[in-house]
Amino acid sequence: MRLHLFISGIVQGVGFRAFTRRLAESYGLRGWVKNLKDGRVEVLVEGDEEILFSFIKDLWKGPKLSRVDKIELLREESDEPLYDFRIEY
């Protein structure tokens, strides 16, 4: 399953991308995370459905200085293979 997430709140300048990458790697997920110009964080993530929803539940916690107000979730078709989880700039 592949999901596209848009995370709003205090999620830039607080280590949220690094947190997301470590979390995704701990779950064995593939994809990427990046900051958006509008202050949100965008995540494309792929893996087992049950694991993905555990990952999202943990994203709500975020790193210490963050605050997640909203996670928009879109289900996507897999059009290109993902092999690891990385931070994009």
Residue ranges of the chain with per-residue pLDDT less than 70: none
To the query of whether residue 17 is one of the catalytic residues in this protein, the response is: yes
Work out the burial of residue 24: count CB atoms within 10 Å of its CB; fewer than 13 is exposed, 13-18 middle, 19 or more buried. buried
What's the pTM? 0.95
Annotated active-site residue in 2, 30, 35, 67: 35
Give me the residue label for tokens 């605050």: 67
What are the tens digits of pLDDT across the range 41-66?
Answer: 999 999 999 999 999 999 999 999 99
Do 83 and 25 contact (CB within 8 A), yes or no? no
Domains of the chain from N-terminus onward:
2-87 (3.30.70.100)
To the query of whether residue 21 is one of the catalytic residues in this protein, the response is: no
CB-hemisphere CA count at 13 Å for 89?
1
Annotated active-site residue in 2, 17, 21, 30: 17
C-alpha 74/C-alpha 34 separation (Å) is 16
